[in-house]
Amino acid sequence: MIEHLKGRLVEFSPAHAIIECNGVGYYCHITLNTFSKLGNSEQVTLKTHLVIREDAHSLYGFYDENERTMFRLLISVSGVGASTGRMILSALSPGELAAAIDSENVGILKSIKGIGTKSAQRIIIDLKDKVQNAGDSVDISQASGNTIKIEALSALVVLGFDKKSGEKALDKVLEENPETSLDELIKQALKRL
């Protein structure tokens, strides 16, 4: 098992990164969260998870341990493969995903491409106790107090807006009016995008 890669970032896109370690280039599938954190770094360290199937050996890279822990929890759920796990972690940060599971928010999970009601319910049922038991390794506090913001952000992402700009717009609206309703929050954020 390859635990992590530390080396020069040769190439990266929203879906993959190539890390050169001692003359060998490793192709890693990455999430949008990891992509946004890589920035313009030349030297990087990615936590990795190796998926071995009959037809392929695929390496998945994560910027931090929280994201890798959530990925491993997701792929332990029946019917959730590595590609789906990566899609979920591209749409939600590990803290947002943990908060959605903890609050049993099926709507947030359903808003992710490829996740239906049954899959969302299965993820929640299978992972609720595991996420709570993970404690420090998965930081729920990042998002657990603000499910309205999570739902609004999810709606903006589904509408095709960039997650970072959506978060900034939502933060500005919530700063001005912390008691706003979900519908009003989305409307006001759309005006700022």
**pLDDT digit string, tens, across residues 91-101:** 888 988 988 89
142 assigned to some structural domain: no
Segment among 14-23, 115-124, 181-190 with least mean pLDDT: 181-190
| Residue range 145-159: mean pLDDT, rounded | 72
124 & 172 share domain: no
Q: Number of structural domains, the chain? A: 3
Q: What is the pLDDT of residues 34-43, one digit of tens each?
A: 998 888 889 9
146 — pLDDT class (breaks 50, 70, 90): low
| Residue range 99-113: mean pLDDT, rounded | 88
38 assigned to some structural domain: yes
Give the mean pLDDT of the chain: 86
The enclosing domain of 40 has a CATH number of 2.40.50.140
pLDDT value at 190 more than 90: no
141 assigned to some structural domain: no
Q: What's the CA gap between 16 and 113, in Å, rounded?
A: 19
70 & 130 share domain: yes
**Residue 131: per-residue pLDDT:** 85
144 — pLDDT class (breaks 50, 70, 90): very low
73 & 57 share domain: no
How many other β-carbons are positioned within 10 Å of the β-carbon of residue 169? 22
Residues spanned by the domain of 103? 65-136
Q: What's the CA gap between 71 and 83, in Å, rounded?
A: 10
